[in-house]
A and B are shown apart, each in its own frame.
Chain A
Amino acid sequence: METDSVAKKAGWYLLLTLLSLVVLLPVWFAFVRSLSPPITLKDGGLQLLPQQAEWDVFSRAWRNGNLGGALVRSFVVTIAITFFQVVTSVLAAYAFAYLWFPFKRLLFALFMATLLLPIEVTVLQNLATVSNLGWKNSYQGLIVPFLATALGTFLIRQAFLGVPRELLDAARLEGWSHWALMTRLVVPLSRPVIAAFTLISFLGAYNQYLWPRIVTTDPQNWGTAPIAVQSLVSNPESANVIVAGALVIAFPVLVLLVLFQRHIVRGLTAGAVKG
């Protein structure tokens, strides 16, 4: 952090405003262009406001992409993945942090090594597995492969290890079971990290693309939000309807970001800096 003179401050505000425009204008232009009837855009120009607004592009995108159903599916899938990722990570993290068992280091290494096996590498066989189980175009198919995560296990274990020893010893002296230690002491004390992980898990699950794209062969009835918008491309719909759909599906996560920015940033930067 730095403190500057008035002239310098003005300069910084100018730079910050210009950079904000770089970030925001693409979305604004896309919004204006989605509303504008193509004929009004014929002669080019930047057009900061639409000459005419045809709001029905949004209802067209909603209807033709079946976005209502897709958003419901996306939320079911995302909430399920997030919930189970937090649960499985907390359980595994507790075992790695506080329980004795043989081959702990090896198993921990094997957990972390799954970071090297992202869905991009395993997608073909996972598609075959899911097809054999009859899970194509189903909630199970969209959810089950993502029920555990090495990142969550790692971050939450780190948080657990930071719980003060004296508290743990005191609780043990009082005869607390491991279950009580976990649910009543360790988890509540690690809430900031668990919250951060919950939010990046949610973002990641909601924004997933490759897997739902490959496992949803019936996008009309089983597409998640981004896949439903993708199906508008192949419909084929005009570009302004497609971008209207994209803006609709981006909206829920933007709200989430504004509400929980601090947690999301903490989750994204975990590992970048110490502490």
Chain B
Amino acid sequence: MASVRERLAEGRGVRVSDTSRWREAALALLFLSPSIVVFGLFAYYPFEQVVVRGLYRNNIAGDNLRWVGWSQYSEVLGGEDFRAGLFNTLEYIMWTVPAGLLLGVLLAVAANRRLRGIKIFQTIFTSTVATSAAVAGFIFLVLLNPVIGVIRSPNLLQDPDTAMMGVSIAAIWQNLGLSFVIVLAGLQAIPKEVEEASLLDGHGPVRRFFTVTLPLISPVLLFLLVVLVINGFQAFALIDALTLPRGGPNGSTETVVFKIFENRTPDRLGVGSVMSVGLFVVTFVVTLLQFTILERRVHYGD
């Protein structure tokens, strides 16, 4: 048993006895092992496998049959199918992300004030965070229905040129809650003195918004931007719920994740794996950008 003095030393991170030190490490391992097992089996192992499977051609049963090296990577990632998926995903992002940022700011600025009943409005604005992408898809399935819908443009979801825009309407609505809560948190973190100082300077509300508020919430907007972009790259549920034929028409709403889903059968595993790695690389680059930009601009607590 360690003495009181040793315990005190431990508290300052100074180690005294080797046995108690290793006993602590064993306890740490015990505490970490559930997470290590799950991450190992369902994050790292599958990642290693999709990278490796991409190097092999499959037979029908999904066995890794023939080593083809990186050629399958260049074939698939440079191929029409993946490029179309990436293009569709980028179109989805182009529609949903700017709209998400703008509407998030609009909702948050409107709801960030002392008014009776403001909590009710805040709850309403937050509500879509409980609505899953799939539920949003089903809701707009009826709203955009050409026979019984509210918006009855017969072609919105049937024309390959506009289908992704139709899908994005549902996505923008579903993102409102998340955009709102994130921007509102940013606004509420602005120190009162800053706003008061600006009021004393006699700046009008518009000028105050652009010269004081917007710069101060820019790190939060950047955070929201990254969240929305990454969500965009992972888009699947809404499209699966809303489009008929799924991913259609003519594959115009097939995102990268949709393509991965379509290539889930054993005989397509090699191709699907390459696409998974492609998705990883894209997400990795976006996240890396987030860190390099965010680290420079945001001061996190220790």
Binding site for B on A (CB under 8 A): 1-4, 9, 12-13, 15-16, 19-20, 22-24, 26-27, 29-30, 33-34, 36, 38, 41-42, 44, 46, 84, 87-89, 91-92, 94-95, 99-102, 107, 110-111, 114-118, 120-129, 144-148, 150, 153, 158, 161, 165, 168-169, 172-173, 175, 178, 203, 206-207, 209-210, 213-214, 226, 229-230, 233, 239-240, 242-243, 245-247, 249-250, 253-254, 256-258, 261, 264-265, 268-269, 271-275
Contact = CB atoms under 8 A, between A and B. Distances in A.
A117 B130 contact: no
Interface string B29-66: 10110110111011111110110010000000010000
B76 to A, nearest CB: 13
A272 B185 contact: yes
A19 B13 CA distance: 54
Contacts of B234: 118, 120
Contacts of B257: 120, 210
B110 A15 contact: yes
A161 B196 CA distance: 34
Interface in B77-124: 106-107, 110-115, 118, 121-124
A269 B299 contact: no
B212 interface: no
B208 to A, nearest CB: 10
Contacts of A240: 142, 148
A32 B178 CA distance: 26
B70 interface: no
A43 B177 CA distance: 33
B267 interface: no
A91 B31 contact: yes
A209 B182 contact: no
Contacts of A265: 126, 181, 185
Contacts of A38: 147-148
Interface of A is mostly: helix
5 closest A-B pairs (Cβ-Cβ)? A125-B46, A246-B138, A207-B132, A209-B237, A148-B38
Given A26-B140, A274-B301, A16 B130 contact: no
Given A19-B106, A148-B39, A243 B186 contact: no
21 contacts: A1-B113, A3-B113, A3-B114, A4-B113, A12-B113, A12-B115, A26-B139, A26-B140, A33-B150, A92-B31, A117-B47, A117-B280, A124-B263, A124-B276, A147-B34, A153-B35, A172-B7, A207-B132, A245-B138, A257-B127, A261-B123
Contacts of B220: 272-273
B12 to A, nearest CB: 9
Nearest to A36: B148
Interface of B: 4, 7-8, 10-11, 13, 15, 21, 24-25, 27-29, 31-32, 34-35, 37-39, 41-47, 49-50, 53, 62, 106-107, 110-115, 118, 121-135, 138-143, 145, 147-150, 152, 173, 176-178, 181-182, 185-186, 189, 192, 195, 220, 223-224, 233-234, 236-237, 240-241, 244, 257, 260-261, 263-264, 269, 272-273, 276-277, 279-280, 283-284, 287, 298-302
A99 B8 CA distance: 15
A33 B148 CA distance: 7
Contacts of A99: 24-25, 27-28, 31
B134 A209 contact: yes
B1 to A, nearest CB: 9
Contact of A100 (B25, B31, B111): B25
A39 B140 CA distance: 19
Nearest to B177: A23
Contacts of B299: 274
Nearest to B176: A23
Contacts of B140: 26, 30
Contact of B135 (A36, A41, A249): A249
A139 to B, nearest CB: 16
A235 to B, nearest CB: 12
B35 A230 contact: no
